[in-house]
Amino acid sequence: MMNYKTFSIALLTTLLATTCTYAASVQNSDSQSNNAQNNAVLTLDAPAATTNATGSKSKESKTTPIHMSCEDFLALDTQAQTPVVFWVSNLDTHYKGGDYVDEQQVDEFVTPMVIEECNKAPATKLIDLKSKMEQYVKKHF
């Protein structure tokens, strides 16, 4: 059984990698259009103010799994989608015997269901799909 510390570290690592990839792609597209130097930007999103690699502060990021819309979720790198669904599906959920939804089950079954639901209604908040995730898990596992 995975504990919350291990899961938190895995989720943060995945989100950090996705953020770095996104920041680098934005940096590259800006550099190409403005003929500017290609400097890597590392952005760390945190609940408080965020800081990039140059040390300047930017606005607070509200796109956390609890605030994420389906549109935001679908825009994520596919490797980041499963950890987000895993986090949402296990948030404040108490399964029989103190168990949880396994990450492999989430990856193979729950994430595709969430993607399908999000494609139907992109404006829906991801956290609002939690009850559908729970029903799906209880029905199939």
Count CB-CB contacts under 10 A for residue 110: 26
For position 59, what pLDDT does the model report?
43
H helices within the chain, ranges in order? 4-34, 70-75, 78-90, 103-105, 111-120, 130-140
Task: Return the HEC string of 4-19.
Answer: HHHHHHHHHHHHHHHH
Query: Whose structure tokens read 């570290």?
Result: 9
Confidence (pLDDT) at 19: 66
Q: Which pLDDT does position 62 carry in this prediction?
A: 56
Structural domain spans, the chain:
4-140
Return d(Cα 123, Cα 85) in angstroms, integer.
17
- Note the pLDDT of residue 21: 65
Tens digits of pLDDT across the chain (141 residues): 455 566 666 666 676 666 656 656 655 555 554 443 333 333 334 333 333 444 444 444 457 888 999 999 999 999 999 999 988 888 876 655 666 667 888 889 999 999 999 999 999 999 999 999 888 888 877
Which listed CATH number (3.40.50.300, 1.10.890.10, 3.40.50.11540, 1.20.120.450) goes with 4-140? 1.10.890.10
How many CB atoms sit inside 10 A of residue 26's CB? 12
